[in-house]
Amino acid sequence: MRVRILLSAAKELMALAYKGYPEEPSFSLVSVKYSLSERELFALKKIVRWPDEAVLSSLKRISPEFALGKEIRVDGYNVLGTIQALIDGDPVFLSNDGFVRDITSAYKSFHRRGISDQAIGFLIRELEAIRPREVLVLLDSPISKSGELSARVRKFLKSSELKGEARTERSVDFEVSRGEIAASSDVAVIRKARAVIDLPSLIAENLGIKPLKFWKDYEL
C-alpha cells in the first residue's frame, strides 16, 4: 500500500468534497489521477467521508465517560482489526469524521492473519476502564474461525471485571447498531446507531500512537 500516495489522494479528494463536487465522480477522478489500485481505492473510501455524512457521524461519537454504566455492543472484527493494526505497526488514519480507521481489510489476507491475544487483551482492558453495565462482542459468523475467536474473547471476558458475552452473528452490523452504544468505525453501523464509541482511538492514545491525518504533510 502506497501510504504517501494515499495521503495525497485523500487530501485532494477532500478539497473536491468541500468545493461541493459529487462523491462518486470525485473518487473516480482522483483514482485515475493517482493510478490507484482497487485495493488503494477501497482504502481511500474508508479514510475519506463526504462532508454531510462526516458531520452526522461525528455527532454520534461519544467520549468514554458517557459510556459508564451503559451497554456497549462491539463490532468484533472491525474493532479488533484496527487494534491489531496498531499492534503490528500498520498505518491507521484519522478520518475527517473523527474516527480512527485502519486499511487492513483492503488486504485479502487480513482474516487469515488473525487476531492476537494481545489485541483482545487491549480491548478488554479498555472496556474495563470505561466500566459499562454490559458488553456484547459480536463476530461475523460467515468468516472462517469466528467461532474460535469468539471463544477466546469469552475466555478473556470471564477473567475480567466485565459482565459480558461474545458470540457469532450473521447480521453483525444490525445487531451492533441496535445496542445502547455501538463500538465500531463501520459507516453502516454508525448510520443506524444512536451513539458510537471509538475504542481503537482510545487504545492508540494509550500506546502513544498518532494516527495519520491526510490534511497534514508527513515525511514518510
Same domain for 79 and 117, yes or no, is: yes
Same domain for 182 and 155, yes or no, is: yes
CATH number, residue 186: 3.40.50
Residue 91 lies in a domain: yes
Same domain for 37 and 77, yes or no, is: no
Q: Provide the 10 A C-beta neighbour count for residue 160.
A: 15
Same domain for 30 and 118, yes or no, is: no
Q: What is the pLDDT of residue 113?
A: 58
pLDDT tens-digit profile of 87-124? 999 999 999 999 999 987 654 444 545 899 999 999 99
Residue 104 lies in a domain: yes
- What is the domain extent for residue 208? 59-213
Q: What is the pLDDT of residue 108?
A: 45
Same domain for 130 and 35, yes or no, is: no
- Please name the amino acid found at residue 145: K
pLDDT tens-digit profile of 137-179? 999 999 989 999 999 999 999 999 999 999 999 999 999 999 9
The partner residues of 181 in beta bridges, in order of sequence, read: 72
Same domain for 116 and 199, yes or no, is: yes
Q: How many domains does the chain have?
A: 2
Q: Which residue, 27, 48, 69, sits at the end of a domain? A: 48
Residue 78 lies in a domain: yes
Confidence of residue 215 (pLDDT cuts 50, 70, 90): confident
Residue 54 lies in a domain: no
Is the pLDDT confidence value at 15 over 90? yes
For residue 1, give every residue at least 6 positions away whose Cβ sits within 8 Å of its Cβ, in sequence order, or none: 39, 40, 43, 91, 103, 106
Same domain for 63 and 162, yes or no, is: yes
Same domain for 14 and 107, yes or no, is: no
Same domain for 63 and 160, yes or no, is: yes
pLDDT tens-digit profile of 45-90? 999 999 999 999 999 999 999 999 999 999 999 999 999 999 999 9
Same domain for 27 and 69, yes or no, is: no
Confidence of residue 218 (pLDDT cuts 50, 70, 90): low
Q: What is the pLDDT of residue 216?
A: 82
Residue 220 lies in a domain: no
Same domain for 21 and 117, yes or no, is: no
Same domain for 68 and 32, yes or no, is: no
Q: What is the pLDDT of residue 114?
A: 84
